[in-house]
Amino acid sequence: MIHGTETVAELSRNPQAFGAVEDNLAQLVSLGLIAARGGPPVPAPVAGAATLPAAQQTKQFLNESAVAVLGLRAFLFTLKLEHCYTEPEIRAILPEYRRVMTKAKGEAFAGTMAARAEAILGR
């Protein structure tokens, strides 16, 4: 979704964007996956703000991205995801996440999204 040509404002208006775009960009910057170029930098997460454990962050990411991409078709996946609480349970559902995302948007998109989920878990 990040091609290096859009501004933060343009990304925010993208109908395929999901969640808080600035927070997502700040997360990608902190992981070293993207770098801010020209203009004001992407805001950093607020210091001292409560952060969720990696498993919960990943679960939230999987849920939000599946709903954003699949709409109502995400229902069965999100129902299964709702019963995942630990890192091993989240890792166990990743192949299904990748399968449903591949069906909806293709292998390249699904691979990118699954890699992002893995990066969140890997922190």
Shared domain for 58 and 117, answered yes or no, is yes
CA–chain centroid gap for 91, Å, is 15
Q: Has residue 4 got a pLDDT over 50?
A: yes
Tokens describing residue 111 = 């691979």
Q: Residues near 103 by Cβ (< 8 Å), separated by ≥ 6?
A: none
Looking at per-residue pLDDT, the higher value among 49 and 4 belongs to 4
- Domain of 14? 1-44
Quote the pLDDT of residue 48: 46
Quote the pLDDT of residue 3: 63
Full-model pTM: 0.60
Shared domain for 40 and 61, answered yes or no, is no
Quote the pLDDT of residue 115: 94
Nearest in space to 95 (alpha carbons), one of 73, 80, 75: 80
Shared domain for 55 and 38, answered yes or no, is no
Shared domain for 37 and 69, answered yes or no, is no
Domains in the chain: how many in total? 2
CB 70 within 8 A of CB 103: no
Q: Has residue 21 got a pLDDT over 70?
A: no
Shared domain for 34 and 88, answered yes or no, is no
